[in-house]
Structures are given as C-alpha cells and as structure tokens.
Amino acid sequence: MKRKPRVPMVPLALLFLLCQTTARAAPKHLDIYFIDVEGGAATLIVSPTGESLLIDSGFPGDRDAGRIAHVALEVAGLKQIDHCIVTHWHRDHVGGIAPLARLIRIKNYYDHRLPQAIAADMQAELIEAYKQTTQGKSVTLRAGDELKLRRSRSSLRPLNIRVLAAGGMVIGEQSSAPQVRPCGSDFEAKPEDKTDNTNSVAILLTFGRFRFFDGGDLMWNIENRLACPKNLVGAVDVYQVDHHGSDVSNNPTFVRAISPRVAIINDGPRKGGEARTFSTLKSLKGIEAVYQLHRNVRTSDKDNTMSGYIANEAEACQGNFIKLSVDSSGRSYTVSIPAKQISRSYRVR
Ligand SMILES: [Zn+2]
C-alpha cells in the first residue's frame, strides 16, 4: 500500500510572518465606521494612508465617547484622530468632543463657525467645552472648501473631501441667498427652519469612482437647493441618510437626485429612521440596500429594513457599529456588521 506523500510543514511562526508581510504589502482600503451613538452621529473615516477624519462625536457623557474611542483605538488601530468636523452645534453632534478628547488625541477641529450667541437649540456648556477643548483653534468651513488628506505614493486613487454646504449656504451661492427657494416641478416648501440643523457642514467624499455623502442634519429646504436647479452633489454610491432618517429632512427631490445605491441610517431605537424616509429610500431606482444602526421600535417591520441589515435590533443594545470598506482600486466596497458577522459587497456605480 502506497503512503500519501507528506505535505511539507511550514512552521506556524513563519506562516504568521508571511501573512503579516503580505498584509503590509497589500494596498490599503478606505474604511468608514458608522459608530452607534443611539440617534446621534459619529462617522469615522480612515484613509488608505491611515489618516483619520471623525465627523461628529455623539451625545455628551462617557457612553458615546467610549464607543468612538474603542472603534478608533482598538478596531481601526489609530493612535490619534487627525481631523474632526462638528457638523453643527446640537448636543448629539458636539456633545462627545470634550470626553472623547480625554480618551484620544484630536489634532485638528473644523465647524461651520462658533455661534455669536447661544440660540435656544444650543447648550452653552457644550459650546464652552468645545472652545476649551479646541483652545480656540478650530477652522471654519465654508461651502467649496476642501480637506486635503495625505496621498500615499503607492495609492493611485485620489481621495477628496469637499464641503458642499455649511452655515446655511450651498456651494456657489451668495451669502444673501434665501433659505426657501422654489425650484423644481414637484417643489414642496417646508416652513423656514430656524434651528442649527440647516447650518450643517455637508461633505462629499470621493475615492477613485466611489462617492459618499454625509450631510449632518441638513433640512428639507436646503436639500432642495443642493438638488435644484442644478444637482450639486451628483449621484453617489453611499448616502449617510440626513438627520438620522428624519422625515423633516430627506426631501425626495434631493434623495432622488443623489440616487444612492446603499443608504445607511444613523438612527436610534426611538429617534429618526422614520417611515416616510424609509419609503423614499425604498422607492429609489437602483437602491440595493438600506442599513440602519437601530431598528426603529416605534414602527412595524414593514417600515424597517430587514433584520440582516440592522446593526442593533434590541433597544438595550451593545452599540454595534457598521463598517464600510472601499477596496484600493475604488471599484467595489463591502458593508459589514462585524458583531453579527454579516458582510456584503457592492460594485461602485
Ligand atoms: Zn442630529
């Protein structure tokens, strides 16, 4: 009887070393983490060179700062956050800045401008904490600005982050532009929004052909100005659904104009993720998936995406995040919910 030839054994340590070397040599992904801050916002972008940008910092207190620091330090392996944009001054966006800065170094801060006076929808102590943390060195962003990130010598794909709206102005507008500007055949105005949501910093990230839009809590009327008379955003691959999926935002004219393939709602169990927004997203031609950080427990199953696309189903949750990873060519991307071991790939449009 013939014996099977023996497969030469590679010592485990050598195998480990080989894998390490291969991993280091491979071109890096662009990663975007949608961190669960239960109805606030915290989106962490890590470029292929390891440079990082955090957009918003969740609510005040230790919970959200802890979750962001965990993802940044332990999951993404960062040593610091290089850039941090606070889209606007509401507590679910600026609240985590001071506690977060105690857990991880944040190098550069950006916002739509420090308020001259504390409005009714702002909290003086949070603005003060932001001023103290940034030591008055935050940069004001205006529509049209670009955030320059390092490009690696080996990376062929340019990575750009462009501000499309900030301080209530959209790119190309004069500062005297009115908030409500009738435009479009199905134009529907909402009452003028007096909150700071309208001032949100909205960015478009492009990496190769991949396009991602994060508009903070932009409201209905300003969304219309981004879509009409000219579509200033263009079609995107991934849309971080405005204002946690609220239906006072997510003007169908705007959502149809940007026509995302994948939508990610940073909602809470009882905040955002509203039925009307979900229906607008589902009605889009070409939509492939809608993800939610939370099941909306106030509505039924038909107004929520399928279970496999929800990071946190129970109201008492573990704070599961959603991770998006764009391959180094910028041609395809994967959306995963690591805690549920779910992962799906999509082609860039
Ligand atoms: Zn918000």
Q: How far is the CA of 321 from the centre of ligand 1 (A)?
A: 17
Between 89-93, 166-170, 329-333, the lowest mean confidence (pLDDT) is in 329-333
Write the DSSP assignment of 83-149 as a string of letters. EEE--SSSHHHHTTHHHHHHHSEEEEEEES---SS--TTS-HHHHHHHHHHHTT-PEEP-TT-EE--
Say how many Å lie between the CA of residue 178 and the centre of ligand 1.
23
Mean pLDDT, the chain, whole residue set: 92
Query: What value, to the nearest 5°, has the Cα angle with vertex 33 and ends 61 and 258?
Result: 115
What is the whole-number distance in angstroms between the Cα of residue 56 and the centre of ligand 1? Answer: 9
Task: Give the start-end residues of each E strand in 190-296.
Answer: 202-207, 210-214, 238-240, 262-265, 289-294
User: Does the structure show a pLDDT above 80 at 79?
Assistant: yes
Give the Å distance between the CA of 156 and the centre of ligand 1. 35
Q: Express each pLDDT in 248-288 by its tens digit.
A: 999 999 999 999 999 999 999 999 999 999 999 999 999 99
Task: Using the mean position of ligand 1's atoms as its centre, give its distance from the Cα of residue 243 in Å.
Answer: 5
pLDDT tens for residues 291-319?
A: 999 999 999 999 999 999 999 999 999 89
Condensed to tens digits (0 to 9), the pLDDT of residues 324-349 reads: 999 988 899 999 999 999 999 999 99
Residue 191: its pLDDT value, please? 92
Residue with the larger pLDDT of the pair 15 and 62: 62
Distances from the Cα of 241 to the Cαs of 35, 150, 223, 262, 281, in angstroms? 14, 27, 12, 10, 9
Calculate how far, in angstroms, residue 42's C-alpha sits from the geometric centre of ligand 1: 10
pLDDT band at 92 (very low <50, low <70, confident <90, very high): very high
Query: Distances in Å between the alpha carbon of 29 and those of 23, 259, 315, 330?
Result: 11, 24, 32, 9
Q: Write down the pLDDT at residue 299.
A: 93
Quick one: average pLDDT of 60-71? 98
Report the separation in Å between the CA atom of 2 and the middle of ligand 1, taken as the mean of its atom positions. Answer: 70
291 CA distance to ligand 1 middle (Å):
18
Please state the pTM of the whole predicted model. 0.91
Neighbours of 283 (CB within 10 A): 11
